[in-house]
Structure 1
């Protein structure tokens, strides 16, 4: 029983310097979260309802948007409650759960990006074998891999963290992060197992990154030899590449600041760095794919024409009559 934590409540101090602006921040946060829900759910529903979009690339995009909903739902509702409350507290169990959601969301994002890169590699570099390799069964296995691997890895991380004896309860962020919780452990507590798990996790996802680089090297080399492949690359790979770079830059800023950053920065800048991966990718990804992928863009235009322009024309005709 020595390893049972005596800390049952954590204090989130990321909003301490925003007291005079909480109504404004609350309004914009609520509107932004609604935008995230609308854009991602729209892409998901378009893919589900249109039989022509039941292809691996669009199903993976659907999984991508589901992950965006999963991660942001682990953050924004709690943020909105904190903005309405006079004290920003979270229970020990709730903090561990939020840390699990944040880490698994980030790693699911990278895993799905790796699977999407593999799908594009097959389509561009091995088009004759694409249908025989990317079967429904293979697609299901890849989607399960992209979700279950982060869940299993971070379940182990969170279990190891839950065994630590904590001597602090203040978290200088807007949300709970596993590494920050580990830093609150008492000075005499052994965190060797947590460090090993963290390095193992970093190795796994660095391997994801190298795999993505490897696929793009092959795709670029193939595209240089064929005009058709260059067109396919620009149409389907550019959105993926933009999503990948945006996500990696956001995560790199957060990880570097969390490990080596200065606490002298203004609280607002610290908060932006911490939540950048929850601000930009969840909105940008569905917008980029919606505008860039021809089938989805056409479906959106058809839906808009059907639901808005045609009824308006009917109303105009009725008025004239």
Structure 2
């Protein structure tokens, strides 16, 4: 019972933290700026991702029954992959916003208009959700010659590996999806931060302080999520050889559970504007 209680407390804490930050951003007009709107989108994804995956995953891990129905397996694939893809797109959009604010401050208001913000949010959510529909549609009709997946939860590639016949279309689309949803956002993020660092080194002390205060939470969140996601891709694609099973299980859980917990904490503590409003909401003395 103790592990179950701990996992339940972790989920409830993550759920409450994300809901609180979403409510704070939505209810305070001073936070109705592009940066905080993108952060709100990030918190919504953490909330949906943890709610869709965390409780049922914990039930599976803690129970003696590790059998998953075919339909529930593909539901897990859709929720997990959607969560990961939307997360990377959110982080990429946030880095673009910081790039404009720090590198092009005079053009920020003309380039980051409400229409642009709405378009970026729409692309961040619609593209991943539609891309995963195609991914699952290609995998769901496959006739499987096995029923054992050596993972804590269902993944698309392990399911495709169980197929009885040629799966080249699935593999090609899977690689394209991985490239678009992970590699391209990461390249874009690294490019924007290269530009930001370039401005910081050549700018004033005030510019450097602004960059550090607004970019540190984003970079920390990115590194945390990228570590878990990269391990999952490598572990899934190239097999568990050389990696202890328990280590793989722990990192699988880390990928799905730690980001929803970590993100609201790092942004709530590091973003001074959010932190000050949270103090007022929670009636904490300064």
TM-score of the alignment, normalized to the shorter chain, above 0.5:
yes
| Correspondence 1:212 to 2:189 | yes
CA deviation map 1:222-269 (0-9, x unaligned): 111222221111110111011111111111112212222435755432
Which of these residues, 160, 170, 174, is aligned with residue 198 of structure 1? 174
Which of these residues, 109, 133, 145, is aligned with residue 167 of structure 1? 145
Q: Is the Cα contact below 8 Å between 1:223 and 1:233 reproduced in 2?
A: yes
CA RMSD of aligned residues (A): 1.6
Give SS of 1:224's match.
helix
Distance 1:24 1:269 in 2: 21
Quickly say closer, same or farther: Cα 1:241–1:200, change in 2 above 3 A: same
Give SS of 1:305's match.
coil
Give SS of 1:90's match.
coil
The structure having more radius of gyration, on CA atoms, is 1
Aligned partner of 1:288 in structure 2 is 266
Aligned partner of 2:275 in structure 1 is 297
Q: Is the Cα contact below 8 Å between 1:75 and 1:175 reproduced in 2?
A: no
Aligned length: 283
TM-score by length of 2: 0.94
Aligned partner of 1:119 in structure 2 is 97
Distance 2:60 2:250 in 1: 17
Structure 1: gaps of 5 or more residues: 1-22, 310-321
Aligned partner of 1:231 in structure 2 is 209
Identify the range of structure 1 (65-74 vs 78-87) with the bigger mean alpha-carbon deviation.
Answer: 78-87
**Displacement of 1:76 after TM fit?**
1.6
Aligned partner of 1:19 in structure 2 is none
Distance 1:126 1:264 in 2: 47
Which of these residues, 107, 124, 128, is aligned with residue 129 of structure 1? 107
Which of these residues, 11, 18, 21, is aligned with residue 43 of structure 1? 21
**Displacement of 1:36 after TM fit?**
0.9
Give SS of 1:89's match.
coil
TM-score by length of 1: 0.84
Q: Is the Cα contact below 8 Å between 2:82 and 2:128 reproduced in 1?
A: yes
| Correspondence 1:151 to 2:129 | yes
Distance 2:58 2:184 in 1: 36
Structure 2: gaps of 5 or more residues: none
Identify the range of structure 1 (158-167 vs 256-265) with the bigger mean alpha-carbon deviation.
Answer: 256-265
Distance 2:281 2:261 in 1: 20
**Displacement of 1:286 after TM fit?**
0.7
